Amino acid sequence: MKNNWPSLPYEKWKDTLDALHMKMQVVGKIKLVLNPFLNHWWHVAFYLNASGMTTGLIPYNDRAFEIDFDFINHKLFIRTSDGDFSDVPLAGCSVADFYSELMQALNTLGIKVTINTLPSEVPNPVHCHQDKRSAYDKEYVHRWRQILLQSEKVLEQFRSGFRGKSSPVHFFWGSFDLAHTRFSGKPAEPPNYGGKIMRFAEDEENFTSGFWAGNENYPHPAFYSYIYPAPAGIESVMVKPQAAFYSPQQKLFILNYEDVYKSETPEEMILDFLKSTYDGIARLAGWNIESLKAQIPD
C-alpha cells in the first residue's frame, strides 16, 4: 500500500466486483421502491460511512429502517427505527442466495417489499434470484473501500469551491461509481438514449466527476469527468495532470487510477484533474464560472 492508495488491478478482482455489484443492486432496488423520487435519481444513492456504505433512512409505513454494507466484517446489517435488527452475510453466498436471505430477513422484521429482480445499467443482466455468481475476495473489497474513502475526501474538497446547486458525494449502485455533480442552473434537453434513467438524470446542464472501479467496456479503475451537454471542441481542452486524457469512445475525461496509485502526491493529482477539467470544459460550454465560485471562510 502506498500513501493509503492501494493497488486495484481490474482483472484480479473482476469476478468479485461483478458479484458484489449485483448484491448491491438488490439493496438499491429496495431503496428505489420505498423512497420518494428526488431529482437526478438522488433518492436511490448510497453514502459512505465508517465501515462501508449505507442506504440512509428508508421510510416504511409508520416506521423506518436502514441497510448498511459493513465491508470490515463483510456483512449486511438491517436496523429498524423500533430497535429490531438483522444481518446477512456478503461473503460465501451467491447473488441468488443473498437475495433470498435478505428478503427473508426483511420479512422477519415486518418489512414486505417487491423489487424488479432484473439488474439495471449492466450488459446481459441476469435476474438476481437466478444469479449464481458468488466470488468474494475480502482483500480486494477492502482495497476498493479504502480507495472510496480517500476519493470521497478529495471530492468533498473539490465540492466546497462551488456555491451553485450540487449533489452530495454519493454512490450509484447502477453505474457503480462514487460521483459528484454540479449544475450551471440552466435546463438541458435529455439525450435520446437511456430511457427513463437518462430522461431524469440529464435534464439540466451539469458537470459530473467521480471514481469507478472499471467494467467490461473500460477494464481499468479510473477517475472521470464529463459535461452534459458536451460542447463542440471538447476533445481539444487541455487538462491536468499530464496522464489525463479525453476518451472519444467513453466520451469522458479519464485519469487512470494506476497513475494515481504510482504518484507521490495522489490527492493533488486528483484535484488537478477535477479542477482543470471543470474549468476547461465548463468555460467552453459557456458557464459563468466566476459567479458560481464559493466564498470559503478563513
How does pLDDT run across 129-183, given as a tens digit for each residue? Answer: 999 999 999 999 999 999 999 999 999 999 999 999 999 999 999 999 999 999 9
Backbone angles phi, psi at 7, to 5 degrees: -70, 145
Beta pairing class for 85-89 and 75-80: antiparallel
- The Cα 228–Cα 248 span in angstroms is 14
The pLDDT of residue 88 is 98
- The Cα 107–Cα 157 span in angstroms is 41
Query: What are the cell numbers at 4?
Result: 493509503
pLDDT higher than threshold 90 for residue 64: yes
The pLDDT of residue 297 is 83
